[in-house]
Every structure is written in structure tokens, then in C-alpha cells.
Amino acid sequence: MNPSPQEHQFNPQIKSRRSFLENSAFGLGCIALSQLLARDELQASLSNKKDLSTSHQLNPRAPHFAPRAKNVIFLFMVGGPSQLETFDPKPVLQKLNGKPLPKSFNAEGLPLQFMRAVDGRLMGSPFPFTRHGKSGLEISSLFPKLAQHADDLAVVRSCYHDSFIHGPAITLLSTGSVLLGHPSVGAWVTYGLGSESDSLPAYIAMTDSGFRGGRVMYHSGFLPAIYQGTLLKNEGPPIQNLSRPKGIHQGDQRILLDQLSQWNERHRSTRPGDSRLEARISNYELAYRMQMAAPELMDIAGESQKTRELYGLSQGATQRFGSMCLYARRMVERGVRFVLLMNSDWDGHGECAKNHQNNASRIDQPIAALLTDLKQRGMLEDTLIVWAGEFGRTPVMQGSNGRDHSPYGFSAWLAGGGIQGGKVIGATDEIGFRAVEDKVHVHDFHATMLSLLGLNHRKLTYLFEGRERSLTDIGGNNDLAERLVST
Amino acid sequence: MLVLLSLIGSSAKEILCEDSPQKKSQKQNKSSWEKRLKKADSFWSFKPLKRPSLPDEISSTPTASSKPTWAPNHAPLQEYLEAWYVSSTLSLRDRELVLSWNDQSGKNRNLIPTRSRLNEGFGHPPRFIERGKIQGHPAIRFGPLMGLGVKTPTDSHADLYKLKGNSGYTFIMVVYLDTLPQRQNVGTLFGFGDPAPGANFGKPTSGFIELHPASSRLSHSGGFGHNAALSHFSLRRITHRPLVLTLIKKPGAMTSSTEFFVNGQAQTQNPLKSTLSGSQAIPDMRLRSDWSIFLGSALKELAHFRGDVSEVAFYSTALTQAQREAVEAGLLKKYKIESSKKEAQRTHPIDAFVLKKLKQARLSSAPPASKQVLIRRAYFDLLGLPPSPEKVKAFVQDKTPYAWERLIDELLDSPRYGERWGRHWLDVARYADTGGYETDIYYRNAWRFRDYVVKSFNDDKPFDLFVQEQIAGDELWPDNLDLAGSYVIDPEKIKNFEALTATGFYALGPQIHESNMDAKKLRLERLTDWVDTTGSAFLGLTLACARCHDHKTDPISQRDYYSLQAVFAQSREAEIPIQHGMGIADYKQHYPAVIRVDEARKAYRLYERKTGGRQRTPQETQQLQQLKLSLADALLSLPIRDAQGVAYDGLMEPPKVSVLQPEIEALVPPIFILERGELHREGEKVNPALPQFLAAKTEANKALPSAIKSRGELARWITRSDHPLTSRVMVNRIWQWHFGQGLVPTANDFGAMGIPPSHPLLLDWLAHEFIAHGWSIKTMHRLIMTSKTYQQSSNFSSETHQNKDPDNRLLWRTNRRRLEGEALWDAIHSVAGTLNLRMGGRPVMPPLIAEELTDKANWVPSQDPGDHTRRGIYIIVRRNFRFPLFEIFDAPVNAVSCAGREVSTVAPQALWLLNNHTSFQQSQNFATRLLREAGNDSEKQIQRAFNLALQRDPNPQELKESLDLLVKLKNQPIAEEDFDPLPDPLKKLPKKQAKALIGFCLMLLNLNEFIYID
């Protein structure tokens, strides 16, 4: 049996090292101590069962095999961006513009949200595609700046699933299941790899507006809460309960914390064999550090004017998502494992072109900047960037110029993390309705992400309700990782 | 089984749910399925439930008793046997009303409900219980208003009883007494003669046995003229255990000659004080002509008792010791009740099982916890609240025997108990007020189910009934709730209504809003939720796997799964009005009030549009304002209640409850086996049926597996006492909620993928006791909490223990528990003195600040400040946005039934307690309370603070450190803008001092000692 990541061998030296650390000054040994504690707790329950003493910790853990990437920035395009307006050019569709859907597409009875596919007329994209970079990757005119990174992007044009409604589809893309209660991708990754930061959450989510999915998008589901994403706010205090109550200054708090730790230590010393008490003591120090680290993370005063301009921070359209992308870089720099940035809303039922133009203008420059910035800092190699929405849109017209949801074939792209860019994987049919070549189900997509991080999706499991659960359920066979990283 | 388990270990994924590339040959599938069934046959959780012998029963050889055992009507006694009632002679259905309990003495003194059948008759009929609390024997269950009496024929009373004022008599009762509320002074178990008090000359003789709730003791009073009362007879526990209770009054004065016996043992610790006095004349029973013998509140002078009665015998003589012992021995044997003598000799059964395992592992167990620790543990365990310092002091100082038992009884009688344990069940029921997913649709009636659960726990509703109500309350207690033209609501109707409310269990699952667009998909989702939750919650089985294929490890076939779906497919969700006919008529009468609001809104909108798109003139603006005011007026004039006093929901919405109802037969959709669980791959059609393998494990019907028709039958089958799973699963949950870990750690999975029990015999014994005590959950609390195992210290460890059994599965100590989110919320407010104990009703939304809200639109802060400090269970549970404190402290995901909460230790928890506005505000309130209760004296404040928050005194070192801390904090700089207005009398303190005290309080709430319960 392959050990799942939280299983470590019992190290008999731990106890004595711990007592050494205990005797040293509290604050100094604290970080090392908490990491040792984490391992201590794990040895207490080697059974990988949900028992009382199994307390999960966030210390860094080795992946199953050599990883390509260490961190992830997931750019979630909520609402479902159209593949036809972005990364999947369809000359045949352009040609058939205004014609009814040919019978040969066999779309009778195919469920869509608002219409019957056979009732609609085909609609070409108003955005021309051109080839970019050495690779000649085709990208539409919506993303002029991103197109400059064409050689970094690997576009998957054959994503598919069968949930044609936002809620379940978002839940599926976020967690691998349409049902509530499953952990999000970031939670699985954090569960698998732990955290590299001792003062920031391992998994952070940000959004540029209200978003549809709610907490399922970053929740830990049935995994322990420690793997849950922390939603960071753009404005005001970034993390809940980060600012001290009015009237309690830093000095006051330090006095309280010192007294607290003294009494907690005394309490603990008379209660042997309960590592949770120690974990909670060290959590107070972590909380104290977080109060400094999170505002520091969000304070971009120290970033150069050039960088600010790169991300488009001074322009209205790009300011919001630009700052999120900049924060994302700063997070990864500070050891955050998984960053989820949500951009919404791409739900172009009405005026699809206008909707997409508007959204693209907000994210094109920031995402391009993120790629540039990571690259120039040598961080792109270690960081996997993923761009995807919960589904794509129909080639048939809804109303006069909209597109309905279509999960049957849509595009996503990946970059960084050792990926050899400038390539296209898979294809949809001639009008971009269904994935037909190299089909990549959401489970395959998730398996690929895990692979790039050195995790085997079949081995990254957690026993819940009588079954060893995994992100990819029974799927995930079409793992693209090898193809993505090969030249 | 081991083989199978290790196989699973090797790579569970592949074996459990492999996506089989090619269909394996049918033959191979079939044989592996048969193998699985064969293995399951000997699997522990499917084996029939038998009462295991206690470890010390095995060793002690049953001494062949030479002593005789007599039936109450044994020949030599027959002559004196005045009346004899035996519950097993009644042929009634379970829960049926007892309209007559016939005398078996041959003297024809039948007991009947006395209400309107006797002068001054008061007693409503009690109920017949098929498997009562006396080791599962049939019993008559007494409760409020209930009483039976014997009506004597007026013409023949002259020679009715041989009782005179100085007679001897004997009374024997096989009874299980429940506690009564402390506020009730007295409850009458049994009586004969005239109960009227006072020395009214000429009154006949009488005798009464009464229960005194405040002290949980019995007394005997009566005599000629009712002028003798014996003081409480015993300190021995007499409630919540099966008793053979005997009273013997010898001829002559009551005082010197009256004795009580409990399970064969005399109870004579207390001196008996009063004497029989009164007239020289000794009247007899003949002076009363109409009635003579009573149980419960048969007359208006007699207060009720609560409990089960299986047998009663009344003799007009004082039995001799030998006679008494023979009859008692007969009854003890018949009802399988342990004699007091034997009970005193043996170890608590739970301890016997636990100690045996520890002995085998050569591990010692922890010493007993101190009383201080125990009361804190019991309070948080049963109520989820800290005890007051006064309670702690009283308990610690109470040196009388059975103080612990009395404390448990007291806590179980508190309405706070149902809120605590009801919350546990809500986890199992995946309770939420919304449907989750993107739209998080609001279930406006879900809270009625929550209140039903709280009430059921408080009522100690038998668990089998509780399960039946939830699965099929609508079918098993059908009621159109029609009142047949009366304002008076029959208690029966209220009971039926409660049973109906229980089916809300199925109406509050997760639901995708948009799946309403696809009726088939919606139905599949719902049926999946209903079947899976039924499996997890009641059977402790994860059925979900069988949706796609025959279960890979448990004996549940795909056919079984869809057959269960077919059971539920005959049901539909419905919202039914709670008002009765008159209320509905009232609503219709007042409906124009709603039209008025609608019209006022229309008027506003019309004028707004008419004057819109340009600058409004001042008159127009004023007019618009006026229209807004009329709208407000119209809203305010909506009635809040109907004429019957039933409160409307919200804006004159008739109150409704969400329930399951039988679907109209013609509309019941056919159910097909779905290949790989996919909607469009319909296979064979199936009919409703029980899971084959499991059905054959019960004796329900020899012809099983049979088709069943309805949820009612499913519910009855699940709650059969020979069902191998139901009782085991529930006692394991109870154990888990007491100890933090179940005997089976996977509480929702008693199948092959679950973890087998650490103490299989103990589990079976508990399950057996559970059923034997009428599925009474409170009885299980008493049983568990009176064990030494429960009362062990948590503060104990050694290398050996840690190495041999790091998870403490052998129970060598008590597990330290961290408070759950709700309990933490409750504890903080309780300590601060701000907890509002109002029960029930629409869920509340305490105010949150911007940074805590991801969805402001749907968080509507409750406007009554009292609602901001209600117990945590009353805070709204939205699937898509959890109350932040609960989210941080491991609230269940509630998408599926939650077997047990995680206990994580993460930094956001520390941040919440340090910095959250609630934590800080309550620290202010805590400080205010200290000032109020301890005055402006730091030492006293510290003392009080420790007492309130930690239930103990500070030691001298802590006192000194606390004083130092206050000084240190006081010396910190402050700024004027540091303070929001402080509550009185805190604001009268110098600001620096107030701030120091608040800081000190905040720190106490952050202590490990505060949040962990030893």
C-alpha cells in the first residue's frame, strides 16, 4: 500500500528533541516545534482512519514523485467563457453563420439551459483569430496582451462534461463532483503537499466581484478544515478577524498573549499525552504572525511603478483583477501553495460579444503581466497557471446574439510549471460544439493538475463514508501531464 | 473479513469503484456477489443481536437458589390478595389507550380511567406500551393527567376490603419511574382510601405512596384520617431503573411498622417520624363507597407520576419476610430485574467490559476525576453549557450518596438538554435552512423540524418512535388535522402533527435550484439524498455505492438500492398549513389586508414611474414620501396572529410545515435500475422492497424477502428490535457523543469499510439494554455516565499507554473534548451573562461585520437584540454560507449525514477568539458582570472570573499573576478613540482600569482550559 501523504514514519527521537525545544525560549523554538508536533501527531495515528487523535497539520510534505510545479494559480472564469470567442477558432462556423444547425450534429434532445440546440441558428465569432509567437498558436483578438505569451500557453480545446447549469458545473470544476460536500482542488493539493508558509494560509482565494459558486469553490468539503481556502478580501482587512479589536493595541495583545501562553503551557504540562493542547498554543503564535504577514502581503507600496503599470493598476478596467494577479505573485513568493482567483461573470446569454469584450479587457493585461512577472523572477517554472471556466458556450445563437451554456466541448489553458507552451491539445467538432479528439473530462483535467504537482490522483485519497475518496472519483484516465511538459 | 479488509487496503480505489473497461462475465459477477453475501453472513454488524453475558456473570456460577419463588397469587396468599394487575394480560396494540386494566385477583376490581366516570375523577387513560422500560416487558405508561382507579359497586361495599385503620397491608409494584420536574412537589404512585388531607373525623383509612421529585425519594402517608406521614424513606436511587417496589405496613401504628423494599432490599436508613393518631374509633374502607384503589392522578387531589408499570399486587395483610421474599423473587425473576443485593456486589457492566479489555492489554485505567471536573464535564456533555459557580459549589459539597446520579437526573430534565443533544442529531440529519449550491434556496420551515428534534430529545421520545416518525410519521399516524368543529385541539392531534413534522427530515436536503428544470434529474437527486441519508442515519450503512453497481464490500445490491428508491418514489414533499380550519378562515377574512399592501406598493410604483426620468418637484417628492408612508402603514396593519392566536409567518403568511406525503398512486413514477447510476441508462423496473440480505436478518416475516408497500413498513422494519443495525448504530452514536469517539469510530459505516468495534460485546450489551429500556436515550445517558469509565480522569497518560493504544480505543482515560462551535458560542455568552435561553422559532441571524460576509443580501440581522445572544442551535444554518464562528470550528458540511465532526486546530480559531467583535463584546459584558457581582475589588473579580469561566478557584500563584496582569494592562497607553460606549457599570471605571479588566476577561476566554473540557 502506498502511504498517503499524511503518513510518516514514527521517529523515536522526536520526544527528546521536543523536550529540548520546550526548554528553550518559547518564541524561538516555536516554528520548529510546531513542525515537530505535527509529525508527532501523525505518528500517533498511523492508521489513516478518522480517529480522535488524528489531527491534520500543514507541514510541507513530499509529493508522490518529482513535481514539475510547486504552486498553483488557478484563474477561474466564472460564468463560462465561450471557446469560440477565445481559443477555439472555427472557420466552418464562421461560414455557416446564420444557418440552422445541420442535422449531422445530432443534437436532438441535447440538454441546454434555455433553448433547444436544434432551434438555434449558428453564430460565428465577431473576434478574429490570429497566429501568435513561434508556435503560431491561434488566439482571438480578445486577448492581445496574453497573445504575446502564446509560446507559454498550452491550450486544451477538448474539455467536456455534462452539467449545463452554473451551480453544478462550478461545483464540478471546483471539486470533481456536482454534489455538495466534496473538497475543492486547492484543498486536495494542500492536503497532498502541505504549506510552505508559516505565517500565511496555504490556500487563498480572491474574487473580483460577487461570484456564483459560493464557498464550494474553496471549501475543504469532507477533508479537515485545515485544508480549506481562505477568502481574502480586496478591500478592508484581507482576512477575517485579522485586525485587533478597538482598544487592544499590539502591545496590549502581546501582554495578553504572553500571559495566555504561560497559563496554557502550565495547563498543558499537567495534561500529558494530548498534542492538541500544544498545537493550539502554537496556533496563537501563528495567528499573531498572521496579523503582520497578511497586511504585509497586501501592502504593495513597495512594488515599483513599472510593476504597477505592468499589471494595469492605474487603469479602471484592469485595476481590480490586476491587483489580484499582483497579490497572487506575492502570495506564491511567500509560500502560498494554491491561489484561486475568480473573475466573473462570463455568462453571455444576451450580448455575448459585448460581455466577453468587457471581461477580456479586465483580465487580458493582468494575466499577461502575471506571466511576464513570474517569468522574469524565475517563478514561472515552479508555478502552474490554469485558466478555465465551468463550461463553454453553444455555437448556436440564443436570442439575437447570445450563446447558451455548453459543457460538451470547451477550452482551457495551462502555463508555467514546466509546461512546454505554444501547443494545442484536443479538438472540438467543426462548429465547436462537442469535444471529439483527445477528450479531456474534468477528472482528466484535475488528474493532470495533480500530476504536474507530483501527485498521483489515484493515491491522493481520503477515507470518508466508507470509501477512499479522491478528487477524480473513478475518472481521470486521460492524464495530459506528460504531453504538456514534452516538447 | 480480515482478508477482505487487507484487500481493500491494497488499493481501495481500484477494487471499490473501478471503471470496469469491459463487462465481466455475468457468471463471475454472480459468484463474487454470492461470496460477498456469505462473508457478510458472519460479519459482526449483521449478526443477530443477543444480550452478551457480563464479564463477571461468566465467572460467577449461578447459585442454585433454594429459596422459593411465588407468583403474587400463590395459594397461601390468595385469601389476602385484594387486587392484582398484570400488564401482559392486556391485548392492546402498542401505544393504544388503556381503557380498562382488569383485576386478576378474582375480586373483579378493575382499573379504569376515572375522568368523567367517577365523582372527582380526573385521570385520563395511560397508554399500553408493547416493549416498555422494564426490560422490554409490556407496560402501562403513565404521565401527566393520567390516572386509573377502581370503581366499587355501591351496594356491595360493606364487605369489600378487610382494611381498617390499624390493619396491616402490603403493596407490591413492578415499576420504572421517570423523574418529575422539580417544580412538581409530589406525584402519587399508588393509593387506596381517602386522599383528602386533614383530621376530619370520620374519614376512612387510607394509604398513599408518593414520589417527591426534589429529592427523588418516596414517602408513605395515610393512616386513619390521613394523619400520618412518613418522611422520605430512602436515599437509594429509585428513578430510571426497573424496580420491584414493596411496602409493608404491619398492623398497628404506621411508624414503627412500615417498611419499604427496593428489589428485595430493605430501605431503613431514615428514621420514621410520625405516628398514627386520631380517633379511638378505627373506621375502615367502607366509609368510602365510590372508589378505592388508584394509580397516578386518578382524582384531582392526586398528582401524576411518570413511568411504566408492569404489575401491581395489593394484599390486606402484612406479608411475612418469607412470603415477601418469595413473591419478590418471583417478580425479579419474571422481569429479569437484578436484586439489590446482587447489584451491590457486581461491577458496573460497562466497567466490567472495559476493564476486561484493559486487563488483556495489561493497561491500567485512569483514576477517577474530581467532582469539580465531573460537574463541568456533565454540564458540557449534557447541556453544552458551563455550570454556575453556585452549582459547582453545591455539588462539590454534597457528600450524600447518589449526588452524581441526582445531578445527571437534574441535567436530563433541563430543556437545555434537548438543545444540546438535538444538535447532535441535526448533524446526522444533515440539517440546514437552505438548499446549498449557487442559489442556496431558503427552506422557511426547516426550523420546525429542528424544534421537533429538540422536543423529542427533551421528551425522551423512544428512539424507535423517533425513527418511525421521521421516516413515515405521515403514514403511521395519518391525520387530516381536521378539528371536527371544535376549538379544542385533541392531544392526539398534536401528537400526530408532531409525527408529521418529523418527516421534514426528508425535506431539508441539499437541492440544486436549477435541477427543477429537469424533473427526472431532480427526482433522482432527491431519491438519492433520501435513500443515502436513510442508510447513513438509521442503518449506519453507506448505501451510495450501490447506486452505480452492487456494493463492493457490503451486502447491498444495486437492485436493493433502487428498490429503496422505489419506496420513497411513492412520496412527495408538501407544505401543509399549521392553522386549523378556523385559523384558515380567519386568514381568508383578513386577506384584504394583503391586498391593501399590494395596492399601496402599486400606488408608490405608479407615481414613481409617472414622475420619474426628470427632476421631481418638491411637492412630488413629498407625495412620493407620503405614498411610502402609506405603504408602511399598510404593512404595519397586517395582522400578526389569526383570531385563534396562531402567529402568522412573516407578512401574514399562514404558518406551514414541510413534510412528506404519500404521492397519488397514479402519479408514482416507475423506478428503474440505472446502469452505472446514469439517468439515461434505465435497466429493469423494480418494485419497493427491503434490502434482501438485511431483511432476511430479521424475523419480520419468515416469507421475507418480501415486497413492501410503503415508508411505514420500512420504518417499522428498521425499528424492529431484532434489526441487527438500528440499535447498535444509535448506542454507538450516543457513546460517541459522550466520549468523543464511538466504540465503532465510523458511526455512519457499520459495513466492511468501517472500523470494527473496539468492544463488540459492550456494544451489543448496550444495544440490548437500549431496547430493553424502551429505546430510551436518557436511560443510556444514565447508564453510561454512572460508569467509572465515564468518570475517569482525562488527565492521565504514560509511555506504555501512548505506545500501546495512542487513540485510547480501550478507554484507559476519558478523552478531553474541545467545545464545538455552538457550545463555544453558548459558553462565551453564558459566562458573560448574556445568553438568551428562549427556545425555538425561526432561525436568528446575529449581526456580522462586513469582513465576515460574502453575501450580504441574504444575511438579515435579527432586530431584537435578544436574538443576538440566543443559543447557537438557533442561528441560521445556510449551506452556502455558514455562521463564521461555526465554520471555523468544524461545523459539518451537511451535504450528507455527518457521522462525527472533525476537531481541527487552526490559526483562524485563535484569530476569532482574540479579535472577533463578538469575542470582544462578550469580554466587555463579562467584565461588566464581574463588576456587578464582585464589586470593584480586583481580587474578588479574579476569583469570580475563574469561577465563572473555569469553574474553579484561582490558585495563589494565578491570583498574583492575574493581579500583575491587570496592573500591566492598566499601565498601557490608551487613546480616547479606543472605546465604543461601554456598558454600565463598566463605564464608571477609569478607562484604563476598564480596559485592563476587559483584556483579562478576553484572555480567560482564550485559555485552553476554557475551550477544552477535561
Distance separating alpha carbons of residues B1008 and A260, to the nearest angstrom: 9
**B516-528 per-position pLDDT tens digit:** 777 888 889 899 9
Whether B432 and chain A come into contact, CB under 8 Å, resolves to no
Q: Which has more confidence, A390 or A110?
A: A390
Distance separating alpha carbons of residues B390 and B384, to the nearest angstrom: 18
The minimal CB distance from B880 to the residues A215, A248, A256 is found for: A215
Whether B998 and chain A come into contact, CB under 8 Å, resolves to yes
Residue B862's pLDDT band, with cuts at 50, 70 and 90, is: very high
Q: Which has more confidence, B210 or B258?
A: B210
* Cross-chain residue pair A167–B969, CB shorter than 8 Å: no
Whether the per-residue pLDDT at B293 is higher than 80: the answer is yes
B899 contacts in A (CB within 8 Å)?
A: 465
* Cross-chain residue pair B879–A52, CB shorter than 8 Å: no
* Cross-chain residue pair B906–A270, CB shorter than 8 Å: no
* Cross-chain residue pair A44–B888, CB shorter than 8 Å: no
Q: Are B422 and B450 in contact (CB under 8 A)?
A: yes
Distance separating alpha carbons of residues B703 and A392, to the nearest angstrom: 55
Whether B482 and chain A come into contact, CB under 8 Å, resolves to no
pLDDT (mean) for B100-114: 91
Q: Which has more confidence, B261 or A35?
A: B261
Nearest-Cα residue of chain A relative to residue B896: A181
* Cross-chain residue pair A44–B855, CB shorter than 8 Å: no
Whether the per-residue pLDDT at B494 is higher than 90: the answer is no
> Quick one: which of B435, B410, B406, B411 has its CA closest to B421?
B411
Residue A265's pLDDT band, with cuts at 50, 70 and 90, is: very high
What confidence score (pLDDT) does residue B140 get? 96
How far, CA to CA in Å, does B790 sit from each of B141, B394, B729, B811, B936? 30, 21, 20, 9, 41
User: B75-153+163-344 adopts what CATH topology?
Assistant: Jelly Rolls (2.60.120)
| Alpha helix (H) residue ranges in B554-709 | 558-568, 581-589, 592-610, 618-636, 692-695
Amino acid at A456: N
Distance separating alpha carbons of residues A366 and A146, to the nearest angstrom: 9
**A348-404 per-position pLDDT tens digit:** 888 899 999 999 999 999 999 999 999 999 999 999 999 999 999 999 998 888 999
* Cross-chain residue pair B1008–A221, CB shorter than 8 Å: no
Distance separating alpha carbons of residues B477 and B471, to the nearest angstrom: 12
The minimal CB distance from A277 to the residues B751, B920, B1008 is found for: B1008
Q: Which three cell numbers stand for residue B95?
A: 401505544
Whether the per-residue pLDDT at A318 is higher than 60: the answer is yes
What confidence score (pLDDT) does residue B856 get? 67
Whether B531 and chain A come into contact, CB under 8 Å, resolves to no
Whether the per-residue pLDDT at B509 is higher than 70: the answer is yes
**A126-163 per-position pLDDT tens digit:** 999 999 999 999 999 999 999 999 999 999 999 999 88
* Cross-chain residue pair B895–A51, CB shorter than 8 Å: no
The minimal CB distance from B912 to the residues A1, A241, A264 is found for: A241
3-state secondary structure of B85: strand
pLDDT (mean) for B618-636: 95
What confidence score (pLDDT) does residue B611 get? 92
As a whole number, the mean pLDDT across chain B is: 86
Whether B1007 and chain A come into contact, CB under 8 Å, resolves to yes
What confidence score (pLDDT) does residue B224 get? 60
A45 contacts in B (CB within 8 Å)?
A: 806-807
Supply the DSSP string of A105-139, one letter for each residue.
G--TT---SSS-GGGSBB---SS-EEEETTTTEEE
* Cross-chain residue pair A226–B903, CB shorter than 8 Å: no
Nearest-Cα residue of chain A relative to residue B513: A167
* Cross-chain residue pair B807–A51, CB shorter than 8 Å: yes
Q: From the CA of B602, how many Å to the nearest CA of chain A?
A: 30
Poorest-confidence range of B117-131, B465-479, B622-636, B775-789?
Answer: B117-131
B512 contacts in A (CB within 8 Å)?
A: 165, 167-168, 178
The neighbour count for residue A169, using CB atoms within 10 Å, is 24
Whether the per-residue pLDDT at B36 is higher than 90: the answer is no
A253 contacts in B (CB within 8 Å)?
A: 914
Distance separating alpha carbons of residues A197 and B530, to the nearest angstrom: 42
Poorest-confidence range of B250-259, B273-282, B344-353, B707-716?
Answer: B273-282
A232 contacts in B (CB within 8 Å)?
A: none
**B972-1002 per-position pLDDT tens digit:** 988 777 777 888 888 889 989 999 999 999 9
Whether B90 and chain A come into contact, CB under 8 Å, resolves to no
* Cross-chain residue pair A215–B818, CB shorter than 8 Å: no
Window 680-739 of B, Cβ < 8 Å to A = none
How far, CA to CA in Å, does B413 sit from each of B375, B409, B467, B540? 16, 6, 22, 29
Q: With pLDDT > 90 as the criterion, what percentage of chain A qualifies?
A: 60
Q: Measured on CA atoms in the order B444, B446, B452, B454, is the torsion positive or negative?
A: negative
What confidence score (pLDDT) does residue B416 get? 97
Q: From the CA of B905, how many Å to the nearest CA of chain A?
A: 6
What confidence score (pLDDT) does residue B65 get? 59
Whether the per-residue pLDDT at B832 is higher than 80: the answer is yes
Q: Which three cell numbers stand for residue B102?
A: 382488569
Amino acid at B84: W
Poorest-confidence range of A144-158, B148-162, B758-772, B834-848?
Answer: B148-162
Tell me whether residue A447 is exposed, middle or buried, using C-beta atoms within 10 angstroms of its C-beta: 0 to 12, 13 to 18, 19 or more: buried
Whether the per-residue pLDDT at B270 is higher than 60: the answer is no
**Which of B796, B882, B1008 should we substitute to test contact with A (largest number of A Cβ atoms within 10 Å)?**
B1008
Q: From the CA of B669, how many Å to the nearest CA of chain A?
A: 21
* Cross-chain residue pair A267–B1009, CB shorter than 8 Å: yes
For the CA atoms of B582, B585, B589, B595, the dihedral, rounded to the nearest 10 degrees, stands at 130
Q: Which three cell numbers stand for residue B356?
A: 476486561
> Quick one: which of A401, A355, A358 has its CA closest to A123?
A401
Whether the per-residue pLDDT at B808 is higher than 80: the answer is yes
Q: Which helix (H) or strand (E) holds A403?
A: strand A402-406
Whether the per-residue pLDDT at B811 is higher than 60: the answer is yes
Walk me through the domains of chain A, giving residue ranges and CATH numbers.
Answer: 1-57 (no CATH), 71-237+292-485 (3.40.720)
- Pinpoint the residues of chain B covered by CATH 2.60.120.200: 75-153+163-344
Q: Are A325 and A369 in contact (CB under 8 A)?
A: yes
**Which of B43, B904, B1014 should we substitute to test contact with A (largest number of A Cβ atoms within 10 Å)?**
B904
Q: Are B438 and B430 in contact (CB under 8 A)?
A: no
What confidence score (pLDDT) does residue B911 get? 94
B793 contacts in A (CB within 8 Å)?
A: none
pLDDT (mean) for A465-482: 88
Q: With pLDDT > 70 as the criterion, what percentage of chain A qualifies?
A: 87
* Cross-chain residue pair A214–B961, CB shorter than 8 Å: no
A219 contacts in B (CB within 8 Å)?
A: 893
Most confident of A238-252, B260-274, B691-705: A238-252
* Cross-chain residue pair B808–A52, CB shorter than 8 Å: yes
Q: With pLDDT > 70 as the criterion, what percentage of chain B qualifies?
A: 87
**B510-563 per-position pLDDT tens digit:** 988 777 777 888 889 899 999 999 999 999 998 888 888 888 788 899 999 999
**A402-432 per-position pLDDT tens digit:** 999 999 999 999 999 999 999 999 999 999 9
* Cross-chain residue pair A465–B544, CB shorter than 8 Å: yes
Nearest-Cα residue of chain B relative to residue A200: B907
* Cross-chain residue pair A167–B882, CB shorter than 8 Å: no
Residue B172's pLDDT band, with cuts at 50, 70 and 90, is: very high
The minimal CB distance from B806 to the residues A45, A268, A287 is found for: A45
Nearest-Cα residue of chain B relative to residue A214: B880
- Interface A-B, measured as beta-carbon pairs within 8 A, has a size of 273
What confidence score (pLDDT) does residue B126 get? 94
Whether B955 and chain A come into contact, CB under 8 Å, resolves to no
Residue B629's pLDDT band, with cuts at 50, 70 and 90, is: very high
**A12-67 per-position pLDDT tens digit:** 333 333 333 333 333 333 333 333 334 333 333 333 333 333 345 678 889 999 99
What confidence score (pLDDT) does residue B223 get? 65
The length of chain B in residues reads 1014
Whether B976 and chain A come into contact, CB under 8 Å, resolves to no
What confidence score (pLDDT) does residue A22 get? 35
